[in-house]
Amino acid sequence: MGLDIKIPIGLMFSIFGILLTVVGLVTNGNDMYHQSLGININLWTGIGMLAFGIFMLLTSNLIKRGKIEKDYGIPEDQEKEKV
């Protein structure tokens, strides 16, 4: 099957993460953060979403290259070397 759901999910989280991080950086020190005890929620949520999106994209890329096997076992080329 050629459908890898990690790519669109990774792209969506990365794009929204970038947007929220930029908004958090632009509005840093604004009065609206007094409700959240002075924590810049937009910045930290954006960084978390960006990290998750990048993780999803990297894992989908590693699986496509064959570095991680579908059964999470030893890749076939390393199995042949041991025998």
pLDDT for 26-49, tens place per residue?
Answer: 998 888 888 888 888 999 999 999
Which residues of the chain are under the pLDDT cut of 50? none
pLDDT of residue 60: 86
Between CA 13 and CA 20 the distance in angstroms is 10
pTM: 0.70
**Gap between the Cα atoms of 42 and 24, Å rounded:** 5
Share of the chain above pLDDT 70, in %: 70
How many C-beta atoms lie closer than 10 Å to residue 42's C-beta?
22
Q: What's the start-to-end Cα distance of the chain, in Å?
A: 30
